[in-house]
Structure 1
């Protein structure tokens, strides 16, 4: 099995994340700082070819980078995931002028990238229809009017963002994916959603009303084909959040008192071994491209990693004992990690949605 190289975060970033993790989780006070700080640490360039302005490496290296951030702050890792996933779309698009337009600013953290394709991923799995519509304004389909609403998108920085969204076409053509900038006419960002955690992640709803873009903003003219190619990275990068949070919870157990460590050692060791095994399988599948043809294998890994996160955080709570339940000791991070873990099963595609997909696949195989 493949084992990815692990690197430590730059000390300045790690220190800042540790100092502000609670505030990032519970308020928007530092929401504007996350993208620039991650960019200064060079994290958005990980897994991007040097010829495109990156620092080299693979998608697996980017997953590991997200996991490293998640060990300090899941909200910051969630922002990282949104930015890096949009960067991945720019790497995979055939629209070179679009890539040249957006990629440098995204890598430098000068602009936020948001993946509004959660609805599209559910559409790809036949869970729900597309919620956005595109109508060609001319016979040559060089300009489009875009309408619709997406209720939940992360990394919609008020300082400026570009969001990827999939649109049904009125002209019989396949659904298409557009890159929609925040300042296009008819684009409206809601106030931040009233989340119970991850409140510094710039998560809001987006509405488009007669927003006009030209064909130069097309990430791909065939949403379904693009999503099949992009889904392994979309899910793989997302799994980095689970990997990092589970590691940090188990590290907290390892730092507890000798008596507590002894009592929980068997469970903690078993979970760490399971986590390492699942991570290796994920990295192998992403690297060799197996998940393109066999998405169910990646769905199963995403579900299993969520189970490991849940179990690891429960051990974290047991190790902290009553001390972790006191507000005055919130610096231990136990309560925050419990809130963060509650998000892992519901981030799209949710565990319920993935289990539904797997059940459907089994029924089809049986038939």
Structure 2
């Protein structure tokens, strides 16, 4: 079965605007409509829910296809499609049925604000958001310093909240136009600047249970984590492919000396992409999350090596602005290790897993 891919119009648009999307925040409003128009957000969403059908592996392939041309656009797609996945795996069918159509139409942007929650799940930090029972609803307080796809036109963000009454932490969907919801100015990033990345605060925001994605955050996060990290890995796969493709297109005098390295790394990447696809489909990463942590770390190393080969092959030309995308991919590659959970956090989790396994 052939992996889904964006249509040719999106490919052309990304190729034309990738540099601007990386450097110019004023282009942020354009990204999601282009992705939705091309059907990228619908990949892996059941047809009965308004999507294109397929599996989460198809959604990962789509993220990779976009990342091959623009990590900014892939980062937006990751946030949007991951939020859609939250609804698909939610225990709130009403929220899913009411919110999926405008998400798939691009009328609102889905923002995955669960980096804090994933770190909480791994025991790295406490929850930064708090819920207090108020009548039939909850008064929400707290802030998250970094969320992508907080589209100014309209967004809905996921966040995990602890409860003052001792109930398990829960996941809520936070609509942008609810009183007390505040979006900061765009963060001053060194790249990926058209990704609508900002901080989010809620001050006395009151939501009832109709906005609750999951009542038991811990168990739900364990279930959704393979998709969260798998879609993230798609960004690494696509970026590495783009760098290796650029390396193969360099002048023969440059690429010949690194041909063996390039071929070996391409084979490694193909094997990693196959492992990723199989692992999210057969339940491996649900049963053995450490295997997915290790793959995410390995893919980051593959990205670093692929971009290094591209730099070597492009030579001085790659150090010029707007010349083939080499400099942009170097910036994009520097982002891969710090996407939450960062490589440092993942390595700490693997070390903890090893210590536990040997006790």
- TM-score per shorter chain, which class? over 0.9
Note the 1:178-327 alignment, pairs <5 A.
178-327=172-321
Q: For 1:305-354, what per-residue CA distance to the aligned partner results, in whole angstroms no more than 9, with x for missing partners?
A: 00000000000100110111122xx2300000000000000000000000
The offset of 1:261, in angstroms, is 2.3
Which residue number in structure 2 is paired with residue 349 of structure 1? 341
The offset of 1:7, in angstroms, is 4.3
Q: State how far apart, in whole Å, the 2-side matches of 1:79 and 1:316 are.
A: 25
2:89 corresponds to 1:92 = yes
Tell me which stretches of 4 or more aligned residues in structure 1 moved more than 6 Å.
Answer: none
Which residue number in structure 1 is paired with residue 145 of structure 2? 151
Q: State how far apart, in whole Å, the 2-side matches of 1:337 and 1:345 are.
A: 14
Which residue number in structure 1 is paired with residue 332 of structure 2? 340
The offset of 1:203, in angstroms, is 0.2
Q: State how far apart, in whole Å, the 2-side matches of 1:28 and 1:287 are.
A: 36
Q: For 1:264-287, what per-residue CA distance to the aligned partner results, in whole angstroms no more than 9, with x for missing partners?
A: 111111111111111111111100
Q: For 1:163-189, what per-residue CA distance to the aligned partner results, in whole angstroms no more than 9, with x for missing partners?
A: 000000111110000000001111100
Q: Could you tell me which runs of 5 or more consecutive residues in structure 2 were left unpaired when the two chains were aligned.
A: none
TM-score by length of 1: 0.96
Q: For 1:26-54, what per-residue CA distance to the aligned partner results, in whole angstroms no more than 9, with x for missing partners?
A: 11121001111100101111101111101
Q: State how far apart, in whole Å, the 2-side matches of 1:214 and 1:358 are.
A: 38
Q: Could you tell me which runs of 5 or more consecutive residues in structure 1 were left unpaired when the two chains were aligned.
A: none
The offset of 1:259, in angstroms, is 2.1
2:111 corresponds to 1:114 = yes
2:121 corresponds to 1:124 = yes
Q: State how far apart, in whole Å, the 1-side matches of 2:38 and 2:237 are.
A: 20
TM-score by length of 2: 0.99
The offset of 1:81, in angstroms, is 0.1
Contact 1:69 1:77 in 2 (8 A): yes
2:26 corresponds to 1:34 = no
Which residue number in structure 2 is paired with residue 66 of structure 1? 63
The offset of 1:8, in angstroms, is 4.3
The offset of 1:108, in angstroms, is 1.1
Q: State how far apart, in whole Å, the 2-side matches of 1:70 and 1:41 are.
A: 15
Note the 1:2-13 alignment, pairs <5 A.
5-13=2-10
